[in-house]
Amino acid sequence: MTELDHLRFREVMGHYPTGVVLVTAVVDGEPVGMIVGSFTSVSLDPPLVAYLPTTTSTTFARLREAKVFCVNVLSAEQEPLCRRMASRADDKWVGVGWEPSAGGAPIIDGAVAWLECGVHSIAEAGDHYLVMGHVRDMDVLTPETPLLFFQGGYGRFTLSSLVASSSPDLVMAIRLAEVVREDVEELSHRLGVGCDVIAAVGHDLVFVGAAGTGDELSTGPILGSRIPLMAPLGEQYVAWAGEEAAARWIERSGARDADTQATLKRRLEKARIRGFSMSRIPADQELDFYSAVRAYTDSDHLTPAQERGLRGAIVAWSRSYDPVDVVPEETYEPHSLAVAVLDSQSQPLLILRLTDLPHPAPGEQIIDWVRELRVCSSRVSAKVDKAARRA
């Protein structure tokens, strides 16, 4: 195959989901483990299974020294363990709970199921080995949802019949948006800009209300659109939602290093102190971003590739989302301005967001917009709080 053919082969095969197992053995008194996505059942009589490691795998070079191995079917909750075992870390077995099978191979705590196998045969198959095992013993430990691998990402199986088309939180958000509708429409008309009403529903931000300027060319989200609640999106909501919400917001952004996490925490503190957030998405990124948002909205279950595309758009946008102190004499390129609507306990219920802002705009104009938006937020907060408590 040419290099292009290799890429095409991987792309096409990536559309076929596979289960994820951890093949384990004990070699020279130490546990050895290998994450495998090619495990399969081969025969019922005799009971044979197989997996296909690469011929260059140094882990398999050790595994093949054992006469007995164990196939551990990982649960969807064991993704962190999966990633750890797939790493090159020397201490990846530290803290991992397991017990030996009858033949001594590690059975991992929390696995969905396990199969102890004796080595039946090992044959070359292109750039892989075909390793067949004769099943000697097996059991189901925790009948939970297994971990799946699809398009380069991990996930779980979900029955569509068990997924609700709406949720109580979404119904409540729509009701609250109706409570503020007249105020939002009046503000939009008076300022000559758009005004969205956004609510946090589960792990998403949902556009539950909108008042526009009548501009048919507006590229922003339409009513019902949703985007993932991850940094920097929903900054005004998360700034008031408490430490747990902030931790989830940061975690979903993919920020792993301590410096980035600390920066995002400071960002939330500043957003709370300022009482508003301003985004400055460049025009050349705007259409790409909202195309990704609409793809997210139209899909009940994003594939890993789609989610990566959306996250990439958000990361690209976040570079133009850094908080700034607005100076009256300076000029800015604002995309939107957002404030939170708080209840009597200073907990966020909604976000009000001005959009379709004329730009460039002087800082003095932006300060006026923010003042009007905050006045509107304060005016509707009592009504929204009352409606939320009455529901």
pLDDT of residue 160: 41
| Radius of gyration of the chain from its Cα atoms, rounded to whole angstroms | 26
CB of 326 closer than 8 Å to CB of 223:
no
- The helix-helix angle for 363-390 and 168-191 (nearest 10°) equals 140
In angstroms, rounded to a whole number, what is the distance separating the alpha carbons of residues 235 and 238?
Answer: 5
**CA nearest 39: which of 49, 26, 48, 29?**
49
**Which CA distances in Å does 356 have to 19, 25, 111, 332?**
46, 61, 51, 14
**CA nearest 191: which of 21, 361, 1?**
361
Q: How many C-beta neighbours within 10 Å does residue 152 have?
A: 11
pLDDT of residue 221: 59
In angstroms, rounded to a whole number, what is the distance separating the alpha carbons of residues 289 and 285?
Answer: 6
| CB-count burial class (<10 Å; 0-12, 13-18, 19+) for 20 | buried
pLDDT of residue 165: 40
pLDDT of residue 293: 62
In angstroms, rounded to a whole number, what is the distance separating the alpha carbons of residues 381 and 343?
Answer: 6
pLDDT of residue 222: 60
Element (H, E) at 61: helix 58-63
Q: Before 46, cis peptide (omega within 30)?
A: yes
Could you confirm whether domain 168-390 is CATH 1.10.3210.10? no
Sorted by where each begins, the domain ranges of the chain are 17-157, 168-390
Task: Please state which CATH number belongs to domain 17-157.
Answer: 2.30.110.10
Print pLDDT tens along the chain (391 aa): 556 677 778 778 877 889 999 999 999 999 999 999 999 999 999 999 999 999 999 999 999 999 999 999 999 889 889 989 988 888 899 999 999 999 999 999 999 999 999 999 999 999 999 999 999 999 999 878 899 988 677 777 754 433 334 567 888 888 899 999 999 999 999 999 989 999 998 888 888 888 865 444 344 556 777 778 888 888 999 999 999 999 988 888 777 788 888 888 998 999 999 999 998 766 556 556 666 665 665 565 566 666 677 667 766 666 555 567 899 999 998 888 999 999 999 999 999 999 888 889 999 999 999 999 999 999 999 999 998 888 6
Cα 285 to the center of its chain, rounded Å: 21
Q: How many C-beta neighbours within 10 Å does residue 153 have?
A: 16
